[in-house]
Amino acid sequence: VGQIYNLEGGIEDWMAQGHPVEK
């Protein structure tokens, strides 16, 4: 868990945490 996320599904976990998605 961090600033790096995978587009395959990590993005969903990132959003679930309430963090904005940075492309």
Region class of 13: left (phi > 0), else alpha (psi between -120 and 50), else beta = alpha
pLDDT in tens, 1-23: 555 656 667 777 777 777 666 65
Q: Residue 10 has what pLDDT?
A: 72
Q: Which residue has the tokens 């995978």?
A: 6
Whether the pTM exceeds 0.75: the reply is: no
Q: Residue 11 has what pLDDT?
A: 73
Q: Give me 12's structure tokens.
A: 């969903």
